[in-house]
């Protein structure tokens, strides 16, 4: 650490707890449940971020089995996949109560997402996050624009395990959920989150049935992108109010399993199970 505090005229600190049950044990595929913070850096200069895990037991100090680090992403928005987008700084997980990340910010008005990460998380940890900077900074939890959420438990079974669009004869038999975004006087934030068994590659199609509200992000069909192990998410901004169909699928047909579909929006919505 720096022994001359005058080098960093600006500091910021937050204290928090990461419960053991929040998120998967390993964050190799998904980091949406990791603690995430937005760091706004006003000017150019040096920025150090120090993660400190609180030691509450002398045995813990003598035999530290908690490997911690920080992942830094550009943009300041919530991050769902550890490597998409690629991290700006990918910290090494170390079994020390302190992890220090150093950055040189070369552009004014830059925002970053700071993600706390552990290797094989099994215990609740209490931690502090401190920022030391030569320019003005602000650190706070990544804002969530979604005020309304619907959680659905479904399954692919028998005929409804139709696979992806590559299988034209069966894809249409997959479960379909219809969402009515009821806010039409302003644009909406809209997010779809699908979880399934990690042994299966999962994804979904989002189809616009009708959209007649305010918003520039009009489309006929979106898909969740590359099929991923057990989890995929799609975030959309500036979406008009209207009716949208969601069809969750596995990549291959005949892959039977339960799934969890979470639909979030910045406005009131109605969700019905069509098939």
In this predicted model, what pLDDT tens digit does every residue of 69-103 receive, in sequence order? 999 999 999 999 889 899 999 998 888 889 999 99
Residues 6+ apart with CB under 8 A from 62: none
For 220, the 3-state DSSP assignment is coil
Q: Name the band, by pLDDT with cuts 50, 70 and 90, for residue 212.
A: confident
Evaluate whether 40 touches 142 at the Cβ level (below 8 Å): no
* pLDDT on residue 160: 96
Whole-number Å distance between alpha carbons of 110 and 77? 12
Q: Which residue has the higher pLDDT, 265 or 3?
A: 265
Whole-number Å distance between alpha carbons of 155 and 256? 7
Q: Is the pLDDT of residue 273 over 70?
A: yes
DSSP 149: E
Whole-number Å distance between alpha carbons of 114 and 136? 17
Q: Name the band, by pLDDT with cuts 50, 70 and 90, for residue 56.
A: confident
CA nearest neighbour of 241 among 210, 220, 219 = 210
User: What predicted TM-score, i.e. pTM, was given to this entire model?
Assistant: 0.80
Distance from CA of residue 260 to its chain's centroid? 16
Whole-number Å distance between alpha carbons of 194 and 216? 25
| pLDDT average, residue stretch 172-176 | 97
CA nearest neighbour of 168 among 255, 228, 253, 256 = 253
For 169, the 3-state DSSP assignment is coil
Whole-number Å distance between alpha carbons of 112 and 39? 5
Q: What are the CA-CA distances from residue 155 to residues 53, 163, 177, 179 (Å)?
A: 40, 12, 12, 18
* pLDDT on residue 220: 92
Evaluate whether 152 touches 261 at the Cβ level (below 8 Å): yes
Strand order in the sheet with 36-41: 89-90, 67-74, 110-119, 36-41, 137-141
Angle at 271 between CA 266 and CA 272, to 5 degrees: 170
Q: Is the pLDDT of residue 266 over 80?
A: yes
Whole-number Å distance between alpha carbons of 228 and 144? 24
* 98-105/10-18 β-pairing: unpaired
CA nearest neighbour of 208 among 238, 179, 185, 172 = 179
Tell me the per-residue pLDDT of 118-159, one tens digit each, with 9 for 90 and over: 887 778 889 999 999 999 999 999 988 999 999 999 999 999
């Amino acid at each position: 650490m720096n022994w001359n505090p005058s080098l960093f005229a600006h500091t910021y600190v937050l204290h928090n707890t990461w419960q053991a049950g929040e998120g998967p044990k390993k964050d190799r595929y998904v980091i949406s449940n990791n603690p995430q913070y937005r760091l706004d850096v006003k000017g150019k200069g040096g920025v150090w971020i120090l993660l400190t895990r609180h030691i509450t037991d002398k045995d813990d100090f003598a035999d530290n089995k908690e490997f911690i680090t920080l992942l830094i992403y550009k943009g300041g928005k919530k991050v769902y996949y550890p490597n998409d987008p690629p991290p700006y700084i990918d910290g090494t997980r170390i079994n020390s109560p302190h992890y220090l990340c150093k950055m040189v910010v070369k552009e004014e008005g830059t925002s970053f997402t700071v993600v706390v990460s552990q290797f094989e998380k099994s215990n609740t940890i209490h931690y502090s996050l401190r920022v030391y900077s030569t320019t003005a900074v602000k650190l706070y939890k990544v804002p969530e624009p979604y005020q309304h959420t619907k959680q659905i438990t479904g399954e692919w079974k028998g005929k409804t395990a139709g696979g992806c669009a590559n299988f034209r004869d069966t894809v249409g038999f997959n479960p379909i959920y219809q969402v009515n975004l009821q806010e039409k006087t302003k644009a909406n934030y809209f997010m779809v989150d699908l979880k399934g068994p990690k042994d299966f590659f999962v994804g979904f199609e989002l189809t616009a049935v009708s959209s007649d509200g305010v918003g520039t992000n009009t489309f006929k069909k979106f898909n969740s992108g590359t099929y991923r192990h057990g989890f995929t998410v799609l975030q959309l901004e500036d979406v008009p109010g209207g009716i949208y169909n969601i069809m969750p699928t596995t990549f291959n047909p005949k892959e039977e399993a339960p799934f969890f579909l979470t639909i979030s929006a910045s406005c009131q919505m109605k969700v019905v199970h069509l098939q």
